[in-house]
């Protein structure tokens, strides 16, 4: 195996975290430390939700936050939409992905997301990347 990619999409009852880029960076750092990944740099973007600035009816996916953590072995990213389906009891939509040339345990990531974000998982995928030329 030359690497692993993992993605988790779901609903987070901890809605506030998904609109706070600093909280998302802290979440990613916690996840990566728990799977023995070495962070190099964090990049985060806060997209404020200001209806008056849009000058039109807002689209439900506008507003929220994204964070990317560059790792010594690749990257981790999370995108949150705290305003999507604001009346849903199971929370706000998020997408989390981690790619690395180092192996890691996706179940650890899932459990941290469940504990910190209070998640309902919609889909979960993981792939092992293999070298087609390896014997």
- Report how far residue 127's alpha carbon sits from residue 4's, in angstroms, rounded to the nearest whole number: 6
Tell me, yes or no, whether 66 lies in a domain: yes
Q: Is 104 helix (H, G, I), strand (E, B) or coil?
A: coil
Q: Return the CATH number at 116.
A: 3.60.90.10
Distances (CA, A) of 4 to 49, 59, 113, 133: 34, 34, 18, 17
**What pLDDT, in 10s, does the model give residues 23-45?**
888 999 999 999 999 988 877 66
In a domain, 135, yes or no: no
- Please give the tally of structural domains in the chain: 1
Q: Tell me which residue range forms the domain holding 115.
A: 3-48+62-123
pLDDT digits (tens, 9 = 90+) for 47-73: 555 555 656 565 555 567 788 999 999
pTM for the whole thing? 0.83
Per the domain annotation, does 128 fall within a domain?
Answer: no
């Amino acid at each position: 195996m030359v690497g692993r990619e993992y993605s988790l999409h779901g609903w987070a009852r901890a809605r506030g975290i998904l609109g706070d880029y600093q909280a998302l960076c802290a979440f990613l750092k916690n996840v990566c430390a728990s799977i023995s990944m070495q962070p190099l740099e964090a990049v985060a973007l806060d997209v404020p939700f200001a209806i008056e600035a849009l000058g039109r009816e807002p689209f439900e996916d506008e507003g929220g936050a994204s964070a990317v953590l560059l790792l010594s072995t690749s990257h981790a990213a999370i995108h949150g939409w705290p305003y999507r389906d604001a009346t849903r009891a199971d929370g706000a939509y998020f997408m989390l992905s981690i790619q690395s040339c180092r192996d890691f345990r996706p179940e650890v990531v899932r459990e941290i997301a469940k504990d910190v974000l209070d998640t309902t998982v919609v889909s979960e995928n993981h792939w092992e990347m293999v070298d087609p030329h390896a014997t």
